[in-house]
Amino acid sequence: MKTVVLSAILLIPSHPSFAQSIVDGWIPLHTGNTWTYEHESRDDTGRGIANLEVRRWTTEETIIGSWIVPEGTLIGLRVHKRLSPPGPITIVEPDKAFLVQNDCLYTANVHWDPHQHQLTPSYRENLLAGRISPDFCFPLTAGKTWGAPHWTDWRPPSDANDWRVRQTSYDTFQVRSVSSYLGSGESAEIWFTKGEGIIMGEHIHHGTISEYRTHLRDFRAISQR
């Protein structure tokens, strides 16, 4: 995996409260940093393995800024999606966001207003009510667990200790779903390398074929000098 270091001093925002976060020591969330991922989905759509629908695409995700909000720090990303096949078609996806809160990071389905740089009222309400939990809590250590998202008022966070960490090398960790929260016959795993972030992931439904996989092709980091 190739890491390219660029020099772009003026792009780096200065937010002391974010810079001091332990999250920043695990994933470099600085303006201009870019991750390029390759994705593949396989689905039999109820027609059997002989009729698999296979889709492949590439995304380039670049951090465009960070903003302090009452709930933590919002990290904005611009996503360019390239479809393959049928050809080199590039689509600019709606801006997505990460949320840094204390020592935890939310990366999946963070609903925000990219013009106002704020969480949407409904997402903020669910977050404060404890219905959404982080995708990662740092530092990652072998055996560490935390709860999965749960969108019902009656299910407390203690019932959803879904993610467990396994250390696979000095700086790489596997975050694995270990409860039935995802649903019967489903599994999810994410591999995370300190200093780069998510390097690989998969979500698989066993039985009928429904698979999604992604892996990091390239990471380009902005120089911090």
Does 68 score more than 90 pLDDT? yes
pLDDT per residue over 197-220, tens digit each? 999 999 887 767 788 899 999 999
- Of 141 and 10, the one with more pLDDT: 141
* Average pLDDT score, the chain: 79
- Of 133 and 200, the one with more pLDDT: 200
Locate the DSSP E strands across the chain: 2-6, 34-43, 53-69, 72-84, 89-101, 104-106, 112-113, 118-119, 136-137, 145-147, 161-167, 172-177, 186-193, 197-205, 210-222
- Model pLDDT, residue 14: 36
Q: Are strands 210-222 and 2-6 parallel, antiparallel or unpaired?
A: parallel
HSE-CB at 15 with a 13 A cutoff on CA atoms is 20
Q: Scan for tokens 């780096």, then name that residue.
A: 12
CA 119-122-128 angle, to 5 degrees, is: 80
- Model pLDDT, residue 113: 93
Q: How does DSSP classify residue 114?
A: T
Instruction: Judge contact between 110 and 76, C-beta under 8 A.
Output: no
Does 5 score more than 70 pLDDT? no
What is the pTM (predicted TM-score) of this model?
0.79
Task: Name 137's Cβ contacts closer than 8 Å, sequence gap at least 6.
Answer: 103, 104, 105, 144, 146
The structural domains of the chain, with segments of one domain joined by +, span 2-222
Does 73 score more than 80 pLDDT? yes
Does 53 score more than 60 pLDDT? yes
Pick the CATH number of 2-222 from 2.40.360, 1.10.3720, 3.40.50, 1.10.287: 2.40.360
Confidence of residue 50 (pLDDT cuts 50, 70, 90): low
- What burial class does residue 109 get, using C-beta atoms within 10 Å of its C-beta: 0-12 exposed, 13-18 middle, 19+ buried? exposed
